[in-house]
């Protein structure tokens, strides 16, 4: 039996820049799981890691310990390869809603554990819950059974999966240690690797509306995640994608569900589909279901044109208790009481649609949450949003706002007026998918 590890000694070792061993890191994770470390000790350790960093080896040990702090889903009975994707969060990023059924329609199972929106970034679970009756709180047994039966399941983190992460994430949020690459890496991968997947594709965003504003930092995170995942035996690739303007034309939960269903009918916006095909393509290639990117894209396009992807979405909504009638009649989704267009102040070309500004307007409407416990209004948001490079005339609509109060409507219209800029010259198109790591 090894020596007793006191929290203060482990904290001091990391504070002084030491490289921690497996027993020390596992004692920290165990303390977070069973309560044997106090919150102030966990917080002190998190700050020491924030300031001193971790080696890839330490990060891999931390990730494995957090994964193993609870149940690791066994999906070995599912014969298909199992792929997942994860986005670091953006504005109008509804890719998961439609790429998952597209990939599943191509013969690759997608067991996806998603999160809720916090701050200015949206959450997949909030979007799904705007479908009346849709259940995201499935048990591990229900999750396993559904993946086996239809090859597709989108749920929230259960109490059994990576419980250490739940406590540590809450502490990171209030101790100023969220933006720490080893901690981000362990948080994301511990949940993903506990879900029973074979391969993972990361969408690491950078720009004004992204969690990581700086591209160099986003690349650093992408390299860290792919390196640690590879060390743990999980093939992982990361795409760097730009998030200076929102993805697609809609921001807000029910509005984004409606736009995702349009994507599944082959009517998705070009920018949104570019990211969708890039991510979905890598999910197929990494799983061995496609030879290369060109073959993968052709398969994904066929899944849409044949109706198979929409059929998979329908199966998932039905299996998880949602009202499938919304698929053919989107007006059954929650609708806001007020709708109003924002007119362009002049003619010209759209030169900027500031993703953060649009997101804050949506937050003002009630589409997101400033704190984890805040309620979300599924009906409100922004749609028909212009894209950078669009030509507009004076008085033409720049977007349409959906609100449930006059006060929120007025505030949001003012914020959107400042977020969208119209100028004389059409700007050069921006590169959306920058680079692939891993």
In a shared domain, residues 357 and 281: no
The catalytically annotated residue of 14, 167, 191, 402 is 191
Q: How far apart are CA 263 and CA 204, in angstroms?
A: 21
| Structural domain contains residue 68 | no
Q: How far apart are CA 22 and CA 19, in angstroms?
A: 10
Domain that holds residue 372: 335-423
pLDDT (0 to 100) of residue 349: 98
Query: What is the strand order of the sheet 381-383 is part of?
Result: 338-343, 397-403, 381-383
Show the tokens assigned to 61: 């040990």
For Cα atoms 156, 220, 429, give the angle at the middle one, nearest 5 degrees: 85
Residues 110-169 have pLDDT tens digits of 999 887 766 666 689 999 999 999 999 999 999 999 999 999 999 988 888 899 998 998
In a shared domain, residues 205 and 136: yes
In a shared domain, residues 355 and 323: no
Show the tokens assigned to 319: 């299996």
Q: Which helix (H) or strand (E) holds 107?
A: none
| Structural domain contains residue 66 | no
In a shared domain, residues 28 and 159: no
Q: How far apart are CA 70 and CA 163, in angstroms?
A: 6
pLDDT (0 to 100) of residue 119: 60
Q: For the chain, list residues with pLDDT below 70.
A: 1-4, 117-122, 371-372
pLDDT (0 to 100) of residue 1: 42
Q: Which helix (H) or strand (E) holds 237?
A: strand 236-242
pLDDT (0 to 100) of residue 292: 97
Q: How far apart are CA 232 and CA 181, in angstroms?
A: 17
In a shared domain, residues 107 and 230: yes
Last residue of a domain, one of 294, 328, 362: 328
Residue showing tokens 């709708």: 339
Phi, psi at 129, each rounded to 5° = -70, -10
In a shared domain, residues 40 and 143: no
Q: Which helix (H) or strand (E) holds 14?
A: helix 7-15
| Structural domain contains residue 267 | yes
Which CATH number do you get for residue 391?
Answer: 3.90.1170.30
Show the tokens assigned to 268: 């998705």
Nearest CA among 169, 146, 145 for reference residue 157: 169
The catalytically annotated residue of 130, 187, 195, 344 is 187
| Structural domain contains residue 132 | yes
CA–centroid distance for 206 within its chain: 13
Q: How far apart are CA 12 and CA 18, in angstroms?
A: 9
Q: How far apart are CA 226 and CA 221, in angstroms?
A: 9
In a shared domain, residues 117 and 259: yes
The catalytically annotated residue of 67, 86, 299, 402 is 86
Q: Determine whether 187 is an active site residue.
A: yes
Q: What is the pTM for the complete model shown? A: 0.93
Q: Determine whether 172 is an active site residue.
A: yes
| Structural domain contains residue 432 | no
**Which residues fall within 8 angstroms of residue 153, CB to CB, at 6 or more apart?**
110, 111, 112, 138, 143, 146, 147, 316, 319, 320
In a shared domain, residues 198 and 347: no
Show the tokens assigned to 203: 């969408």
| Structural domain contains residue 266 | yes
Residues 327-381 have pLDDT tens digits of 999 999 999 999 999 999 999 999 999 999 999 999 999 998 776 677 899 999 9
Show the tokens assigned to 381: 């948001």
Q: Determine whether 323 is an active site residue.
A: no
**For the chain, how far is it from start to end, CA to CA, in angstroms?**
40
The DSSP letter of residue 240 is E
Q: In the chain, how many domains are there?
A: 3
Burial class (CB in 10 A: 0-12, 13-18, 19+), 375: exposed
Q: Is the Cβ–Cβ distance between 271 and 117 less than 8 Å?
A: no
Show the tokens assigned to 200: 């993972």
In a shared domain, residues 324 and 372: no
* SS3 at position 423: strand
Show the tokens assigned to 160: 């059994």
Nearest CA among 420, 416, 424 for reference residue 391: 424
| Structural domain contains residue 188 | yes
Last residue of a domain, one of 328, 351, 386: 328
Which CATH number do you get for residue 321?
Answer: 3.40.1030.10
In a shared domain, residues 185 and 251: yes
Q: Determine whether 237 is an active site residue.
A: no
In a shared domain, residues 312 and 419: no
The DSSP result for 403-415, as a single string, is: ESSHHHHHHHHHH
Residue showing tokens 């990060």: 59
The DSSP result for 369-403, as a single string, is: -SSTT----TT-EEES---TT-EE-TT-EEEEEEE
Q: Which helix (H) or strand (E) holds 351?
A: strand 348-353
| Structural domain contains residue 429 | no
In a shared domain, residues 348 and 266: no
The strand ranges marked E within 71-198 are: 83-87, 110-114, 152-156
The catalytically annotated residue of 126, 165, 271, 354 is 165
């Amino acid at each position: 039996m090894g020596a007793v590890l006191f929290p203060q000694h482990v904290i001091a070792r990391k504070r002084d820049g030491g490289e921690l061993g497996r027993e020390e890191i596992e004692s920290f994770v165990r303390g977070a799981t069973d309560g044997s470390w106090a919150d102030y000790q966990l917080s002190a350790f998190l700050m020491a890691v924030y300031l001193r960093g971790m080696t890839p080896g330490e990060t891999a040990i931390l990730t494995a310990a957090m994964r193993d702090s609870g149940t690791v889903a066994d999906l070995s009975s599912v014969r298909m390869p199992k792929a997942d994707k994860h986005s670091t969060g953006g504005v109008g990023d509804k890719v998961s809603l439609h790429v998952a059924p597209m990939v599943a329609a191509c013969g690759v199972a997608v067991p996806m554990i998603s999160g809720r929106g916090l701050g200015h970034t949206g959450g997949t679970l909030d979007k799904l819950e705007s479908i009346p009756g849709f259940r995201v709180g499935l048990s591990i047994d229900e999750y396993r059974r559904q993946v086996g039966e239809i090859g597709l399941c989108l749920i929230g983190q259960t109490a059994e999966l990576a419980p250490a992460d739940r406590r540590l994430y809450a502490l990171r949020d209030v101790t100023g240690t969220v933006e720490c690459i080893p901690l981000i890496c362990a948080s994301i991968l511990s949940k993903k690797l506990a879900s029973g997947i074979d391969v993972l594709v990361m969408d690491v965003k950078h720009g004004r509306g992204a969690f990581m504003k700086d591209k160099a930092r986003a690349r650093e995170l992408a390299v860290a995640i792919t390196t640690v995942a590879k060390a743990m035996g999980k093939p992982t690739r990361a795409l760097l994608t730009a998030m200076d303007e929102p993805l697609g034309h809609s921001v807000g939960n029910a509005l984004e569900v409606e736009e995702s269903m349009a994507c599944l009918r082959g009517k998705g916006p070009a920018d949104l589909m570019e990211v969708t095909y890039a991510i979905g393509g890598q999910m197929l290639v990494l799983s061995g279901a496609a030879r290369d990117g060109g073959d993968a894209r052709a398969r994904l396009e066929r899944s849409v044109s044949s109706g198979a992807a929409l059929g998979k979405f329908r199966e998932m909504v039905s299996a998880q208790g949602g009202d499938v009638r919304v698929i053919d009649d989107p007006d059954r989704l929650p609708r806001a009481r007020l709708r109003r267009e924002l007119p362009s102040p002049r003619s010209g070309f759209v030169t900027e649609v500031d993703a953060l500004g649009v997101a804050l307007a949506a937050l003002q409407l009630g589409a997101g949450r400033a704190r984890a416990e805040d309620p979300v209004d599924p009906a409100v948001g922004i749609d028909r949003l212009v894209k950078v490079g669009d030509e507009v005339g004076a008085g033409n609509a720049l977007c349409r706002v959906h609100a449930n109060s006059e006060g929120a409507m007025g505030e949001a219209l003012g914020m959107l007026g400042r977020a969208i800029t119209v100028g004389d010259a059409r700007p050069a198109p921006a590169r959306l998918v920058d680079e692939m790591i891993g």
